[in-house]
């Protein structure tokens, strides 16, 4: 019976010895990034200038070079140049369309995120508007009960009257209760 190799959990998965590791799959998006790169490159003035220089060089070579060095005949209208340019265009068009489709997908996602953000902003704005209206209504209710100094004084007087005890009806004082009188025998001292 074969023993399984010892696995150290301290090492990253790709560096473990004796353990089969799965190689990462190539990015499925690599071709899409390539098509966008091609589309961006073909849309630059440098590409147009280089393509124009290529065509001018091709025509000049096949017109001015010695007869045995020429590879595309002027008599047949530079057929090979036409085929090369057609091949380039036949590959360029689908690559540009693929790049546009990827951009459309990104735009669609961005539009959806913008729509969701706008909905949240609208909900927040509506909430804040309701809160402002509630505050205005509360202020309107309070403005009917304007607090002035006189009203405040009256409120304080009322509170003071509530806090001060009312005087009890007094009973006639007896001689024993009079101040300075000797205490009765057996009565507690004050």
Q: How many CB atoms lie within 10 A of CB 1?
A: 2
- The CA distances from residue 3 to 6, 7, 8, 18, in Å, are 9, 12, 15, 11
Closest CA to 58 of 36, 80, 42, 91: 80
How do the domains of the chain map onto residue ranges? Answer: 28-143
- CA 164 to CA 161: how far, in whole Å? 5
**pLDDT tens string 49-72:** 999 999 999 999 999 989 889 888
**pTM of the complete model:** 0.47
Task: Return all residues near 95 (Cβ < 8 A) that are at least 6 apart.
Answer: 35, 38, 39
**pLDDT tens string 132-146:** 999 888 877 766 666
Look at residue 168 and tell me whether its pLDDT is greater than 90.
no
Contact 5, 18 (CB under 8 A): yes
Query: Mean of the pLDDT values across residues 152-168?
Result: 84
- Phi, psi dihedral angles at 129 (to 5 degrees): -65, -40
Look at residue 182 and tell me whether its pLDDT is greater than 80.
no
Mean pLDDT of the residues in the chain: 81
Query: Mean of the pLDDT values across residues 11-37?
Result: 68
Task: Return all residues near 6 (Cβ < 8 A) that are at least 6 apart.
Answer: 18
- CA 145 to CA 139: how far, in whole Å? 10
Residue 21's pLDDT is 57
Task: Return all residues near 59 (Cβ < 8 A) that are at least 6 apart.
Answer: 78, 81
């Amino acid at each position: 019976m074969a023993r399984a190799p010892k696995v150290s959990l301290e090492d990253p998965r790709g560096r473990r010895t004796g353990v089969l590791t799965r190689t990462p799959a190539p990015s499925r998006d690599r071709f899409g990034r390539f098509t966008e790169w091609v589309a961006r490159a073909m849309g630059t003035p440098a590409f147009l200038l280089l393509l124009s220089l290529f065509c001018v060089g091709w025509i000049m070579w096949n017109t001015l070079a010695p007869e045995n060095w020429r590879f595309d005949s002027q008599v047949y209208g530079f057929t090979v140049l036409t085929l090369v340019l057609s091949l380039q265009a036949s590959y360029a068009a689908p690559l540009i369309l693929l790049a546009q489709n990827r951009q459309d997908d990104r735009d669609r996602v961005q539009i959806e995120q913008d729509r969701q953000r706008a909905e949240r902003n609208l909900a927040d704005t509506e909430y804040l508007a309701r809160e402002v209206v509630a505050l205005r209504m509360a202020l309107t209710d309070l403005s009917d009960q304007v607090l002035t100094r006189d009203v405040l004084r009256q409120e304080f007087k009322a509170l003071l009257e509530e806090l001060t005890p009312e005087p009890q009806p007094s009973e006639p004082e007896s001689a024993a209760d009079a101040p300075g009188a000797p205490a009765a025998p057996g009565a507690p001292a004050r």
